[in-house]
Amino acid sequence: MTTNLDDYLVEAGEKVDLGNRQTITAPLYRSDKDYRDLLREGVERLSRQQHLNYAAETAALLVIFQGMDSAGKDSAIAHVMSGVNPQGCTVHSFKQPSMEELRHDFLWRCQLRLPERGRIGIFNRSYYEEVLVVRVHPDLLVHEGLPSKFAERDAFWKERFRSINHFEAHLDRNATRVLKIFLHLSKGEQRKRFLSRIEEPSKNWKFSLADVAERKLWKRYTKAYEACLSETSTVVAPWFIVPADDKRNARLIVANLVVDALEKLGLHYPKPTPEREAELRTIRKRLEKEDSGG
């Protein structure tokens, strides 16, 4: 599989128009078997890089997934991270904030879940909900102790974008690489996936009338995402817009993005100190002595 990851990159300072971004592209796989082989290859590469990251303990990777309802965030995480050692990876799905979380600044609850050095942290939704869902539903600001009229001020959202950019720059300076993935789904494909959730009993739990109500706000969400992607894609914490109508293609692209981000950390296995090397020689001698019947 060959794909140019820069095709999905949002350049720093770029004004995003999602209407000009594809939701589906030519598949990177030729058949079902080819897809499985490519995904397995990507997962194996990811597993090797994750093992190296876990051993080095010098950096962390934070992967943020955003997208419309049914864009495939859950399945992308499940498939791409299937071969990763659970000890070196944590996944957090951010739902409606609790009362305690609402009494803090909008970044607080996500700060508590940041990955340690040597770990991969995955956010299924994130603090970006505060410039997406909250922007579409400004009445939610009241629960944060802020007047809903703040939503009418462009300066208010600019300040939130600036806070996010400063926060992510701080993370980068402190050895946490931030990779942000927007799964770009078409409205028509969302409709198909919503219908499948009704038709398949195992998916019924994923669907509610609230999802249909949110779908009616598609244009408002699109504008909120365009502003967010435009204002918060930076050199140190870029956004990648991944076509999501084909779930398999999206998973292959996501796997490559995560592996590429880990490889760019430039990690190496820890070099033993002289003391450690001496200890290993002692252990070796004792084990060899056991083999010789000593």
Q: Domains in the chain, please, with CATH?
A: 5-291 (3.40.50.300)
pLDDT of 205 > 90? The answer is no
Query: What is the CB neighbour count within 10 angstroms for residue 149?
Result: 10
How far apart (Å, rounded) are the C-alpha atoms in residues 264 and 32?
A: 30
The predicted pLDDT at position 218 comes to: 96
Among 280, 275, 288, 180, residue whose Cα is nearest residue 230: 180
Confidence band (pLDDT; 50, 70, 90) for 79? very high
Instruction: Write out the DSSP string of 36-69.
Output: HHHHHHHHHHHHHHHHHHHHH-S-EEEEEEEEST
Instruction: Kindly indicate the confidence band of residue 206, based on its pLDDT and cuts at 50, 70 and 90.
Output: low
DSSP at 204:
G
Average pLDDT over residues 197-218: 78
Cβ–Cβ < 8 Å for 184, 23: yes
Place of tokens 């495939």: 72
Statement: residue 2 has pLDDT above 60 = no
Find out whether 121 and 114 touch, Cβ atoms under 8 Å. Answer: yes
Q: How confident is the model at residue 193 (pLDDT cuts 50, 70, 90)?
A: very high
**Range list of β-strands (E), 94-175:** 120-124
- The residue whose two tokens read 């249909």 is 212
- Cα–Cα distance, 255 to 244 (Å, whole number): 13
Q: How far is CA 41 from the centre of its chain?
A: 20
Q: How far is CA 14 from the centre of its chain?
A: 20
- Checking if the pLDDT of 210 tops 80, the result is no
Considering only the C-alpha atoms of the chain, give the largest distance between any 2 of them, rounded to a whole number of Å: 82
Least confident of 42-56, 101-115, 267-281: 267-281
Average of pLDDT values for 162-185? 98
| Neighbouring residues of 100: CB distance < 8 A, sequence distance ≥ 6 | none
DSSP annotation of 293 reads T
- Please determine, for residue 174, whether its predicted confidence score (pLDDT) is greater than 70: yes
Contact, 41 vs 245, CB < 8 A?
A: no
